[in-house]
């Protein structure tokens, strides 16, 4: 099939994030355009398609296999990703798949392998890499400005749990913490062990038995660095995503920016706003992520994060999940990482 310029992109999943991607492709992305939407919920597909003036279908295969699109954005729940990625790969369509790739490593690997076998690029939806502040931090670290990294503190807190329909299936460590796992690897390299602690405090637990609302994860990196990742969905005051990266030659802080640059000063007080949700905080990153995907489809760049990054984030989330249940550190699979862990412990780091 001859590729159109700009590429015609289809979105599968017309829920919370699918609507954002479809609207961005229809209105804000310059180098790709929305061509079709699909959702097994026909009413949701029709609503979105009609609203944005594109074809819609309740059969995702119809979108993925058809000739009306050049590439696919998958914005459905994680348990469906393996099948949809495999289907898109078989149809020769480049894929941007939302995170996490899957809720277990085997499903994630199957999708990555299917794309690799078909020679189809696979990008994974860790949009943080496209945020200007995080990208600037990564550029400085890659340039060596911080020297060796000693530790990272990362927080991502939602004001409240997601809607009931999402909450019932969601697993915090895969759906939320994995963003920071990807970010830590991107900034500072591979992780060799994970220890995670979780608590349901503040949760409406009946909605999601066995899941947590606050998780603290401690990661040991192959370099010897440590990372502490704080994930919460009961912060109340807003969406808070901040990171501090401490190196021997300098420290970087990525702040949670304010929506409107106005402060109200009163006696003994400074009052300013706070982003309420991730859609607000990362609205430009979602557009940049799709611009990057359009460039991937046009063969201009390699995907980042790619399928392997998505697989590693799922592997780390699965390790953290195991640690939560075991109450102990989980050393990542390979002999090399076990050896690195032993070496670091022997060195007293």
Question: Which residues bind to ligand NAD, rule: CB under 6 A?
Answer: 12-18, 38-41, 44, 60, 75-78, 80, 98-99, 125, 127, 165-166, 175, 278
**Rounded to the nearest whole angstrom, what is the least distance from the CB of residue 5 to ligand NAD in the complex?**
26
140 contacts 249 by C-beta, under 8 angstroms:
no
3-state secondary structure of 226: strand
CB of 55 to ligand NAD, least distance (A): 15
Residue nearest to ligand NAD (CB): 15
192 vs 313 by CB, closer to ligand NAD:
313
Closer of 16 and 46 to ligand NAD (Cβ)? 16
Shortest Å distance, C-beta 37 to ligand NAD? 10
CB nearer to ligand NAD: give 70 or 289.
Answer: 289
Cα–Cα distance measured from residue 246 to residue 163, given in angstroms and rounded to the nearest whole number = 36
- DSSP code for 205: G
| Shortest separation between residue 155's beta carbon and ligand NAD, angstroms | 16
Which residue from 98, 84, 93, 100 is spatially nearest to 118, judged by alpha carbons? 93
Interatomic CA distance for residues 42 and 155, integer angstroms: 37
Q: Which one, 28 or 338, has the nearer CB to ligand NAD?
A: 28
The residue count of the chain comes to: 349
Q: What is the DSSP string of 41-82?
A: SHHHHHHHHHHHTSEEES-HHHHHHSSS-SEEEE-S-GGGHH
Q: Pick the closer one to ligand NAD by CB: 127 or 185.
A: 127
Question: Shortest gap between Cβ of 166 and ligand NAD (angstroms)?
Answer: 5
């Amino acid at each position: 099939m001859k590729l159109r310029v700009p590429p015609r992109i289809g979105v599968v999943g017309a829920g919370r994030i699918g609507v954002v991607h479809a609207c961005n492709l229809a209105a804000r992305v310059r180098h790709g355009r929305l061509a079709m939407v699909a959702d097994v919920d026909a009413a949701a597909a029709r609503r979105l398609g009609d609203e944005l003036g594109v074809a819609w279908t309740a059969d995702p295969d119809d979108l993925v296999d058809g000739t009306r699109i050049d590439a696919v954005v998958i914005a459905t729940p994680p348990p469906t990703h393996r099948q949809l990625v495999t289907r898109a790969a078989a149809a020769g369509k480049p894929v941007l798949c939302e995170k996490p790739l899957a809720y277990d490593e085997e499903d994630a690997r199957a999708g990555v392998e299917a794309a690799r076998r078909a020679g189809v690029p696979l990008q994974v939806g860790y949009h943080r890499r496209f945020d200007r502040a995080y990208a600037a931090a990564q550029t400085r670290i890659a340039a060596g400005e911080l020297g060796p990294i000693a530790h990272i503190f990362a927080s991502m807190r939602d004001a409240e749990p997601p809607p009931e329909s999402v909450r019932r299936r969601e697993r915090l460590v895969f759906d939320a913490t994995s963003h920071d796992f990807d970010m830590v690897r991107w900034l500072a390299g591979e992780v060799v062990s994970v220890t995670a602690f979780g608590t349901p405090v503040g949760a409406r637990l009946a909605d999601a038995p066995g899941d947590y609302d606050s998780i603290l994860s401690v990661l040991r990196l192959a370099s010897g660095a440590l990372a502490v990742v704080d994930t919460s969905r009961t912060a109340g005051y807003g969406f808070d995503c901040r990171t501090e990266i401490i190196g021997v030659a300098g420290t970087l802080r990525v702040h949670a920016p304010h929506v409107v640059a106005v402060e109200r000063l009163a006696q003994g007080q400074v009052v300013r706003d706070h982003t309420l949700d991730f859609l607000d905080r990362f609205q430009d990153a979602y557009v940049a992520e799709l611009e990057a995907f359009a460039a991937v489809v046009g063969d201009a760049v390699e995907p980042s994060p790619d399928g392997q990054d998505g697989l590693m984030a799922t592997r780390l989330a699965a390790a953290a999940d195991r640690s939560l249940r075991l109450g102990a550190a989980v050393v990542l699979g390979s002999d090399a990482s076990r050896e690195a862990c032993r070496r670091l412990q022997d060195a007293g780091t």
